[in-house]
Every structure is written in structure tokens, then in C-alpha cells.
Structure 1
């Protein structure tokens, strides 16, 4: 039995200090295609496997440990590197369900075949422009079919004092100096020292436990941990990718929001045509509620309605039957009505919520039945996104839902790791403190720089209507941000399936001038640009679909005054900008101005406010 991990870390710290040069043994390295990002891997003179990351020849991570504990053995200690392989990869793929039409997937890869005592393993590292990703691979071991990983020894030793935006699952964000960190922080976590902005993330988790970041034993360091589980392995077992992305501005981190997709393999050469993105409104649990929502959806360019928890009874009871609809809902009538009422011949689809209790017991029975009913999609509720068993089950369930031709939304503690590339029917997921929890403007302006770097999120917009009870009693308090900010965030926040009117009764919306923006705004994009932003202070994003641009700008807890440069517009064309902004009485004011490339639109937002703009070409 080898030494426990805290002793291993002590060995590393004795062998490698922040002020010393690279260790004497051979350094194995790979550089990004542009030559500015580099990973270096070495074995210290005490035979501990270590790595560091550099940006423009400057260390961003100092020498940090690699490895894990397998069957009680510290893999990463007593290491020899047996073989090195290098290769380059250059790829461009279409992604019609994303923030940009095309995704560039160019990297240089380093594969190291290693031996740690009796255990053979590989380190695979991919170096992109601005990012590094690495994972461990366990080939079949002599004398055993299955191993047990109880700890991961991956660490991130930073070169300076950093602040981390700490959060866990659906909590708020707490900016915390690393030396003061007491709680764990989820992937992806964003850190900054004021000069660099880092995102430490995860990709391609199909069969691992949920991992978190904890305070490391060395100052300004983090460690990977999964306290509530262990991980069973088998031959050719691959851990999730650990990713580190580096930018020199907060908005610069957005270029890495598609990194998890780039690290997952597609199951098909292209996205099937039956996968349709769109917006939805949630229905009350009655037939008439469903019919009213379909009418509203058809009028306001929404593609789906959803029957949420309760349509087959109390969701957590094993006696509730997900094959039987409560008597208050005539499901065949609602589904058929949606097929008949769709806009421009496209049906309004019905999405059904199913709780984990029913999913785990009856998924294989439910999928063919719901297909027969004509259901368009599913929403999974209260899934287990924490344990290896739960995550492995989810990956298999996503594939089954894909095979039956349903779109999918996964709620509660599950966060994306890029699996939408493999199963593009997984349009969105929660893993976010959304609007139904009434977060403040600080939270709203932290999200674009943190959680959204992992992928799409179902924020469940709770846009208020003219029903005074709704407006004044959302969780016994008014919304903490303005209506203009609600409009703007539908552009800023990315989700191919966007829940817009979460608590709204469609018959209560008679303020068409306000909600017409929601009728027009798309959920997938041809081109996207983060224009301006500082974490927790403000954000401005421009996105294009077709020839039309949409711009969303939101302020945090302080006023924000600035300008939006329209450099993304085409030259020699005139445009008309329709600006939706907060008025002085809690509503939305609309104005129209002519603009062209080279112009700037002034922004003057009050704290908690927002501005949304549609820019059309003039005829």
C-alpha cells in the first residue's frame, strides 16, 4: 500500500517549488496551433507525475500533480513514462444548434504511456488556442477486470492570488479568495487575478462521479475531489476531460463555451432534421390550459408547450402511473390541437415532464408509448447527476430518448459536459439557479462568465404579466430585476430550448408591445459576439440569425453607462434598430433608430436594468 495522498502532495512540494526552474528529467510538451498555449508534463526526481500550463511562455499553472488512487495504489507516484505520441487535428463542423454556425476544432495532442508501479495508464492532453484538456485512460490491467478509483489527485497550482466565483449546483455565486475557500466549487469554475481570467471545467462525463474543486494543500491551489462516491473502472476506462481555459478579459472566456462540444465525439455525421430548437410556455394541468397555451404559442412564435410535474399524479409517489393522464387533461386532444394550430404549418409540440421515480422504473415502457401519443419531447426531473451510477444511467437514457426521436431537457442538479455533440436531442439542461428562484442582478451578470461556459442552460424565464397576483407574489416578492433585463437575458443566455413564460397564464398577457420581443427572438444562432462585460457588473452580447441581429445588455447591482459598437454589421448597408428598454414606471419603452456599421448605440442602464435590440436591414 502506498502513502496516502496528503503525503504524496508533500513529496511533490518538496520536489518542486514555485520558484525553481523546470525539473531535471525530460519534459514532454505540446503547443497549441497558434503556439501561444503549452502544456508540459514531467516526472520529478522523486518519480511523481506533474504538469504545468503556460500562456505566451508565462506559467499560468505552476507544477501540479496528476494521478488518482486505484485499488488503494497511488497512480502518479513511482512513475515512468514509456512512450510519447504526438499528433495534430484540424476540423471544422457545422453546429445548427449552437451560438455559431461552425465550430473550429483544432488542437495538438500529446499521449503519454505511463507505468506507475504495477499499473499501466495513459495521459492524453489536447492543446487548443487558449485551452488545455487532459484525461486519464486505463487499459485492461493484468489480473483484474475492474478497478475502483476512490480519489483523483489532479491539482491546479496557480501562480498568483486568485479569486474564485464559488458555487455548487443551483446556488448563488460567492467571490472568494482561494486562500479563504472553505466550500467546494462546481465545474466550470471561473477565477481571476485581475490580469488573467481562467475557467477550469470538465467535458465528456458519461460514466464518472460528479467532481468538484476544493482548496488545495498548497497556497493558491485547487484539487479535484468527489467526496460522496467512488468510481468503478473497466478495461479502456476514460475519465472525463479536465479543462483549463485562459483569457485576458472576462468576455474573452466566451470563446471557450463550445470547448466541451469539441471534446465529445459525434454519434452521427450531422444533426438530424427532426431535432427542432424553440421556445416554450408551461401549461396549467388542464385541457383548456393546454389549448390556451397552444393558441398563445401559435400567435407568439413559440414552438412548444410543456405539461410539468403533476400531469400523471404526484411525481414522487411510486403509485403515480406515468402511462395514465390525470382526468383534468385530455392529452390526445391537446396534442392533436398543437399539430393543427402551428404557425406556417409547423406544429406546436407537447413536452412532458417525468420524474426520476418513473424514469428509473419504466423508461423503456414509456418511450414507445409517448411516441405513439405524438409527444415531441421529454423533461427529466430530479435526476441523479451526482453519482457514477446516476450519471451512467443518464447517459444511457439520453441515448434511448435520442433513438426514439424526442428532444430532451434535463432538470435539477445535472450540468452539461458536451454530450449534446454526441446526442444533439439533448437541447438543454438546468444545473443553474434560474429565474424561478428569483436571483438578483449580480447573479444574472455572473452567469455568462461561469455556468454558461459549460453549455446551454434552462433559466426558465418568469416574465411578469398583467395579473397582479403573479407580479407581486412570485415567491412572495417582486422580481429583483427589470422587465428590460428579462428581455435582454433571452439574448445573453444561450439555450436551444428556452422556457420563456414559466409562471405565466397566457390569457393574462395583453401587453403585446412588451412581449413582441419574445415572439421574434430565436434560440439558436448563426454568429455570436460578446461585446462588453465584467463579471457581476454588466454584460452585452450580440447574436445573428439570418440577416437580423439581436443585442442584449444587462446591468448588475450598479448603473452601467457605455456604448455598443456596431462593428459586426455589414458595410454599405443601412439598418433599423428597434430598442426595447425600461421606462420610468416599470414597463418597457420601444423606440426605433437608423444605424450602420461604424455607429455606436449608447447604453445607460440603471442598476438591475436591461436593454434589448433588434437590428434589421432596411429595404
Structure 2
């Protein structure tokens, strides 16, 4: 990061290179480091607006900006109050995701603004794959009534991927025409639009103490909404969360989260964007996260319900036989009592047994047992003391400003105690796994808990092929993939190959596999289940992919390539070029079999010159391992 004086000088002397500003209506024109994206901040009749170009194409038309703070609309009657301060960013950092290293390279401008004499700020940051803005709140601001940030897209949008609104993000995902999307109703982000020249995803980053942001469509634009705080919210720090590392500040000022647009020419660029984590702070200086380890997790709730104490050794033994790293002890352990021992003593016994066979334990808790900072810390300390490696916190209240501070406190507590963290019944992530890598995954998704017979839940096949471009664009999702039970598969019409492909397509650094261990150990591809990674060094979205129709990923881990294909609700034949291979490799392919609970297994040598032709049934899939 450069200092402010250098930033101002560079802006003035090198304006034609990457940034400029002018008095009058045009407040700022800022280019990305590679000069392929340009954002312009203007006033239009006194209203603060911004627009974005990719090359010569306007991908965001003039869109409204502003907050209503203490009764003042900060987007109206706006003028530049002082010189903007411009800085460049360039750094790299490791992450658990679609690739192993993130590149954070951007140009940022801080605009001091005035709205009818009220001083505040707008921060604009431009990357080669997107744009983000955030507001610096006026000093001594007390209450936010509304936010007016919007995203107006061109009329030639081909498709939009979106999800129905739910406080826990557990509604279906869709890919539709723009005019088929509900208007003036809440929907969940992220939203992805397909344009003739590429793709854009809209969401938020670094949400620390604002309510969770949703969207509503108005014509060909989207508006920011806050369903949990429709009448506004007070700006205040909860006293018991005031000492946490993240406190809703940027450069010492109170700020809003970033409002983001990821912009890419193709789906590989879109999925691989690090924009959200780039917009979040680095980990606290001196904090060591080397103990955070991704892996595969066995889990009994989906297949058999509440865990029984007597069964736990068998589950740990199965995880060890599969060479999986974790086992989740889910809801139900709180009711264990045996031989005069309470649930905590019995929980420690099973955790100790897991450690003896090389399997680490994660423990479930209802958030109502830790709703304030003191009880949360005491509970987490107790879980850590009996040897657990992580916590799954479920049933979290609506994401108001106060609850978002509680999330931050939970991340900080778990970081200090050395606990992996999995929020369930939760709000979407906003990139803060950069700050807290122990925030390893979270739910906030309609996953396989909604494809389960005992609750008569069935998910449409189109849902799974929309998820990568909706919820998964916000970060890892605990979809709980890979159901192999034939009776469960039949209700939704999903094939074994489709189910296995979920573990490759849906990113979750700790992946919780849904089904009973017997189906995995007895499957004809148990060798692949034992070997499949959960984080990746390189990711390609294959050219046959169409949002809402079929999703095909090729992912590399070390020298191996894995291919995962999930099909939607129509039969099709696809082609998969193997040009990502550098040399000939041995391969194992799993094709859809005649029955849902079957595969055709193919083993042979392949080369980069080959193009696979794959037939997919509705709800079918394909899996490949090239090694």
C-alpha cells in the first residue's frame, strides 16, 4: 500500500494511466490496474450515481448510490468536499478455494463528499475483474434508515441466476430471463447475469456490523434491501463485542460493507474471482492459522437422525477406513446419559476414541446456548477442552446488525481457541474467510437436507445447476453432497455420478458427506471417494457449462485433474476437451448407468488431444480422475 501523498501525486501526474477526477458533475473516473475496467462516479441532477465499462462496453449503466443517515439522504445534492485520495494495492495470500493463491491487485479512491453540508465519504475500488464501493459514515452518525445502492444492467441480459428469499438462504435457486424474475420482491444474492459479452455477479463483501443485504428487481436493475431491518437500524457497537478485531471500520472510520460487481468474460473468470476475499482485511498480525486443515467429514444426521452414543465408534472406524479427516457429532449428543455419566463426559469419550483412530471431531451446538459473548466463549472453551477440532453452530437468528456483530465475535473466539467453524441455519459469507480462515464453510443454502425422504423434501434438478452461480459465488457452501442410497435418489431422479460430481463442483473446504458410511464403503468407486480433494490448485469451468442447464468443472490438485459434471432436467450429450492435460495420464471415468444407483466405470489412458463425448440423463452426471 502506498501512502496518501504518493497516491495524490500519482493521480495528478498519471491521470491518463489509471485514475482522474474533475470538478463539476464528473467526480471520478478510475481504471483498473490492467485498464480493462473503468468506473465513473457522477452526479445526475444532484443524485450520486456510478457506471462501469468493460473495455468500451458499458456493463453497468448509471446506478444510484447513497445512504439515508439520521434523516439526511447522502445521495442527494452531492459535491466533492476535498481532493480524492488514491492508492494502489498489490499483494498475494493463500486461501482454501478454487485455487491456492489469491492475487489482490487494485486501485482505490477515497472521495470526501458533502450532501447539504453533511460530510461523509465514498470508497471506490477497481480490479481487473470487478468494482466495489463502500460508504464512510458521517462522524457521530446514529441511525441508518435506508440504503440506495443499485445495479442497473443493460437491456441485453440473456439470463439471470437468483434465489428466493429466506433468512437462512434455504430457498430454491433459479436461472431465468430477467422478466421472469419477481419484481419488487426480496430475493437472495449473489445474483449473476449473463450478457452477450460475459457475466457479472452482484453481492457484498466484508459485512461486519450491517444487516445482511438482499436484493429486489426493478425493471432492468437491482436494489439493495435489508429484510431483517426494513425500518432501519441504529449504529452501535454491542458492549460485549467491542473488543473484537473486526468492528465495522476501515482506516479508523465507520463504514458500510462493500457493494460489489464481479465482472468476467467467461465463467472460469467469474468462478475464480477473488474479489470478495480481496475486499476483506488480512488476518490479525501475528495470528497463526497453520492448524486450519481442510478435509472430508462423515456425518450421521442426514441418513439416520440423531446420533446414538453406542454407534459412534462404528462411525469413527468408517471415517478412518475411508481415510477421511473428520467426523461430525450432530444434534442429539446433548441427550446422552449412561452409567452415571453426563453428555459432556460421554462426548469426551467418543472424541478420544476418534483421536485414537486418527479422526478429528466436530461438534454441533444450537446457537441459543451461546447468544451473548460471555456464554459463547465459555461454551467454546469447554468444547475445545474436551478435544474437539471444530464447532457447528446452528439455528442462528435473523442477520440484523447486532447478530452480524455476534458472527464476528464467534469467528474471533474460534480463531483464538483454535476451532474450525461451520455456521448453519446462517447467513451467506462475505469474504471474511480471508481474515478468519477457520471460518471454513457454512450452510446458508438449500442443500441435500432438502432432498430427503423422511421430511418428504424433493429438490428440482434445475436447482443444483443454478447453485454455482448464486449462493456458491459468495463462498464455500455446506451442501452436504453425495447421496448414494437408491431409495433417496429415486425421489429426485439423481444418479450416482451426479451425486459424486456435487463433491467436485460445490466448494466446501471441509466437505460433509450426507449418506450412511455403508454406501460409501460398498460403492464401486470407493477408491475415488477415498482420494477426492476438497480444495484445489486450479479450476476451469468447461465450455459445455450453461447456467441452469448443465455444470462441468475441471479441477487440479497437485498433478491430478478431477472432472465433475452435474446435469439439469433435460437429457443431453456434451463434449469435454482434455486440452488442460499437459501429458498423457491414466484416467478413471464414471458415467451414468442404466439405473440411477449404478455407474459405468471406464479406465484407460487419455491425452490432451482427446475430446470426451458424454451422454447425460436428466439429473445425471459424470466424474473423472486423471492421474
Aligned to 2:487: 472
Q: How does 1:174-323 map to 2 (within 5 A)?
A: 174-179=174-179, 181-182=182-183, 183-216=185-218, 219-229=219-229, 230-233=232-235, 236-256=253-273, 258-268=274-284, 272-283=289-300, 284-313=306-335
Tell me whether 1:574 sits opposite 2:597 in the alignment: no
Q: Secondary structure at the match of 1:330?
A: helix
Kindly state the Cα deviation for residue 510 of structure 1 after the two structures are TM-superposed: 4.9
Residues 373, 392 of structure 1: alpha-carbon distance in 2 compared, 3 angstrom cutoff: same
In structure 2, distance between residues paired with 1:86 and 1:277: 38
Q: Which range moved further: 86-95 or 190-199?
A: 190-199
Kindly state the Cα deviation for residue 268 of structure 1 after the two structures are TM-superposed: 4.2
Aligned to 1:536: 548
Kindly state the Cα deviation for residue 147 of structure 1 after the two structures are TM-superposed: 1.4
Point out where structure 2 has 5 or more consecutive residues left out of the alignment: 1-21, 237-251, 301-305, 452-458
In structure 2, distance between residues paired with 1:462 and 1:436: 12
Residues 510, 188 of structure 1: alpha-carbon distance in 2 compared, 3 angstrom cutoff: closer
Aligned to 1:400: 413
Aligned to 1:35: 35
Aligned to 1:340: 356
Q: How does 1:349-498 map to 2 (within 5 A)?
A: 349-360=360-371, 362-438=375-451, 439-465=459-485, 471-472=486-487, 478-498=491-511
CA distances 1:580-599 after superposition (whole Å, capped 9, x unpaired): 22211231221101012232
Kindly state the Cα deviation for residue 228 of structure 1 after the two structures are TM-superposed: 3.1
Aligned to 1:548: 560
Point out where structure 1 has 5 or more consecutive residues left out of the alignment: 1-21, 315-319, 343-347, 466-470
Kindly state the Cα deviation for residue 57 of structure 1 after the two structures are TM-superposed: 2.0
Q: Secondary structure at the match of 2:553?
A: strand
CA distances 1:279-326 after superposition (whole Å, capped 9, x unpaired): 111135223321111111111021111111122149xxxxx9xxx954
CA contact (8 A) 1:209 1:391 kept: yes
Q: Secondary structure at the match of 1:188?
A: strand
Q: Which range moved further: 329-338 or 590-599?
A: 329-338
Aligned to 1:4: none
The number of residue pairs the alignment matches comes to 561
In structure 2, distance between residues paired with 1:261 and 1:394: 17
In structure 1, distance between residues paired with 2:430 and 2:125: 16
CA distances 1:338-379 after superposition (whole Å, capped 9, x unpaired): 11111xxxxx11111111111215212112211110011100
Residues 497, 271 of structure 1: alpha-carbon distance in 2 compared, 3 angstrom cutoff: farther
Residues 23, 557 of structure 1: alpha-carbon distance in 2 compared, 3 angstrom cutoff: farther
Q: TM-score, normalised by structure 1?
A: 0.86
Aligned to 1:517: 528
CA contact (8 A) 2:493 2:618 kept: no
Residues 592, 271 of structure 1: alpha-carbon distance in 2 compared, 3 angstrom cutoff: farther
Aligned to 1:596: 607
Q: TM-score, normalised by structure 2?
A: 0.85
In structure 2, distance between residues paired with 1:492 and 1:121: 42
Kindly state the Cα deviation for residue 195 of structure 1 after the two structures are TM-superposed: 4.5
Kindly state the Cα deviation for residue 521 of structure 1 after the two structures are TM-superposed: 0.4
